[in-house]
Chains A and B, each alone.
Chain A
Amino acid sequence: KAGVTQTPRYLIKTRGQQVTLSCSPISGHRSVSWYQQTPGQGLQFLFEYFSETQRNKGNFPGRFSGRQFSNSRSEMNVSTLELGDSALYLCASSLGHHKETQYFGPGTRLTVT
């Protein structure tokens, strides 16, 4: 089975712009979670989607949003980018129940200048 894929792998944006990141889960997985990884804060949970519905949300401002499509693919959007949004954004998928093992993609490295 193919693993979790994320596109693009690298992205450079300017402050104030918006960005959309994409995640394709492992085939058959219906849950997709997003995390932000930074050297100072570690891995921080952004949100989780299951069957096109946001099931859980972390403590991030409303500039961070996401959605999930009927094929379980997910997108994450960040509007009005700030320098502090520079991070590795990780996507993880699991079969369904949020207590199950999550499998991670390679991440999208976002740099905001």
Chain B
Amino acid sequence: AQSVSQHNHHVILSEAASLELGCNYSYGGTVNLFWYVQYPGQHLQLLLKYFSGDPLVKGIKGFEAEFIKSKFSFNLRKPSVQWSDTAEYFCAVNSDEKLTFGTGTRLTIIP
């Protein structure tokens, strides 16, 4: 069965700091990869996705993620975070059967 690991449970950063959230998955076949974000009091929204092609994908609000197949990783990055990026971030992997989520990373940005 596939699984997704997000090793950072809670990350606290100051505004303008750079961000990298880790995501690793275990599945040997072809996968589609996603990052979703859940802002306080709001529903889950798609941040970005990777299906095929360029392994560096850009999403909304300045986020990007890099798919490294050899490392089974899909880390999320942002060069300079803002207070409004405070949210919970979920990595998800879709293989043959279903969408599997990581446990999420809570990101707190200090003004």
Contact = CB atoms under 8 A, between A and B. Distances in A.
Q: Do A and B come from one complex?
A: yes
Interface of A: 33, 35, 42-43, 45, 48, 56, 58, 90, 92, 98-107
B101 interface: yes
B53 to A, nearest CB: 15
Contacts, number: 43
A101 B44 contact: no
Given A90-B44, A104-B44, A42 B102 contact: yes
B34 A101 contact: yes
Interface of B: 32, 34, 36, 42-46, 49, 90, 94-95, 97-104
A56 B100 CA distance: 13
Nearest to B49: A101
A43 B97 CA distance: 16
8 contacts: A42-B101, A45-B99, A56-B97, A92-B44, A98-B99, A99-B94, A100-B32, A101-B46
Contacts of B49: 101
Nearest to A57: B98
A43 B43 contact: no
A98 B94 contact: yes
B104 A42 contact: yes
B45 A104 contact: yes
Nearest to B30: A99
Given A42-B102, A42-B103, A43-B90, A105 B97 contact: no
Contact of B99 (A42, A102, A105, A107): A102
B101 A43 contact: yes
A48 B43 CA distance: 19
Contacts of A107: 43
Contacts of B44: 90, 92, 104
Contact of B32 (A33, A43, A99): A99
B31 to A, nearest CB: 9
Contacts of A58: 98
Contacts of A98: 94, 97-99
Contact of B43 (A33, A42, A101, A105): A105
